[in-house]
Amino acid sequence: MEDATKTTQEDEPACMGDLMNSPSVTVAPAWVNWHSALQNKHESSAREALGLDVDRPIVMSGHQPIMFHNGILAKLIALDEAAKRADAQAVWIVPDQDSVDSGSVRVPVGMRESLHDELVELLTSGTVQSGVSVGSIGAIEIDSPSHESLKPVVEWLDQYAGMETLAQQFAYATIEHACEVLGIESPRLIFASELFEADALYEIIKTMRDDPALCAQIYNNAVAKHSDAGVRALVIDDGKIELPLWGCKFDEARVAIDTTNIDSFAKDELLPRGLLMTGLVRAYLADLFIHGTGGYVYDQISEDWFRDWLGVELQPMAMVTATQHLELGFSADETVDIYDAKWAMHHVRHTPAMVGDHETQQRKDDLVAQIELLKPKDAQRDVLYRALQALLIEYRDAHRVEIKAFAERADQAMRLARQYELARDRTWAFVFFGNDALQSLDRATRAAMS
């Protein structure tokens, strides 16, 4: 696929009011490459075994079963758009082998100077034990939240309280709620724990067991090649070889699988780790997989690993990411970094262009250039230097109001450092955004795919 990237930004505000920036969405590669990938439906018995469509292309994406942010929501929108354009089935995979805190939601409280965040726990303390995969915990009833913005999604969570696992409950509730708000069709959901129900995919485990050292060594070679992805290599010892699998028993902490303990787990208790999961999906299920920025980098490991280990070329991947901020009382140009604000406060005293006085800036630059051309002991340097100082004094007097504003801005940045950090945060859950903001993200995402 060609290396083409498109970024769009909505002209209108992203959130209610006019204080924060519009959503910025980045898509790679260009749509023509997506379209090409979705014209090449590949055959696989695994699709039928997992109940997926076999008569049309499949486009996939996915995320953990949590209250996700708008960068993830953009993937869901892109999934919908791609499926519609290519008459493909939209499938969302949920990595329920992961140990994530689905019930913890960070909530913004207050505005401007009073802005802070609180951690709201939707699950009763002790419900989720450390290290237990979210697919190994039963679904539960959720307490009514105090924060108004959480009530709609909690209603969805209550609707799915009869599901078998917490992963299913949170995945269906969050995806269904997001799709309802956006007015789009819900994708088909599948879970990592279901993948080995397909015989074609379970054969991979048999291949691992036939030569675990080869599997692990080629995996590690691929990891080393893409060290910037931050993925840990598998452990290879004389008496033990780690495999890219998790052992997950209900209500027990997940266990890293190796050649010494794999027989302790039943077929339905063996789950793929992340790279194996995306490798299987792209080899046997999806004609195109939509990643975020992280997955777009680390899944290159899967490509090299599957090619060198199994001789399998994975189907293409694409990338979608978005940044959208909540309107929390600050304008976009207010929420500056402390270092940047201090730098600007000091430099504005010597840089007239920073307040729009380009004529004085040119006069200053000319004087500096003349000084630099003279020898250190040349008397003319002192004359020019005094002229430069006089010019800057004149400039500071003429623009004292603007220069003072830079100092006030730096002072405010120091006082409100935490508030600025929260206002710039792009990871607030989508449930805190109003309908106008989410529709703005929807338009920006689809436009980025043009």
What pLDDT, on a 0 to 100 scale, did the predictor assign at position 17?
32
Secondary structure of residue 245 in the 3-state scheme: strand
Please name the fold of domain 6-99+189-325+425-448: Rossmann fold (3.40.50)
Q: Please state the rounded mean pLDDT for residues 348-354.
A: 93
Q: Tens of pLDDT along 162-172? A: 999 999 999 99
Is the pLDDT at 19 greater than 50? The verdict is no
**How far is the first Cα of the chain from the last one, in angstroms, to the nearest whole number?**
16
Is the pLDDT at 342 greater than 90? The verdict is no
What pLDDT, on a 0 to 100 scale, did the predictor assign at position 6?
62
Per-domain residue ranges of the chain: 6-99+189-325+425-448, 338-424
Q: Tens of pLDDT along 199-242? A: 999 999 999 999 999 999 999 999 999 999 999 999 999 889 99
Banded pLDDT at 14 (limits 50, 70, 90): very low
Is the pLDDT at 45 greater than 90? The verdict is yes
User: Nearest to residue 149, comparing CAs of 423, 430, 431?
Assistant: 431
Q: pTM for this structure?
A: 0.82
Which string of DSSP letters, residue by residue, matches 294-321? Answer: HHHHHHHHHHHHHHHHH--PPPPEEEEE
User: Nearest to residue 320, comparing CAs of 82, 21, 54?
Assistant: 82
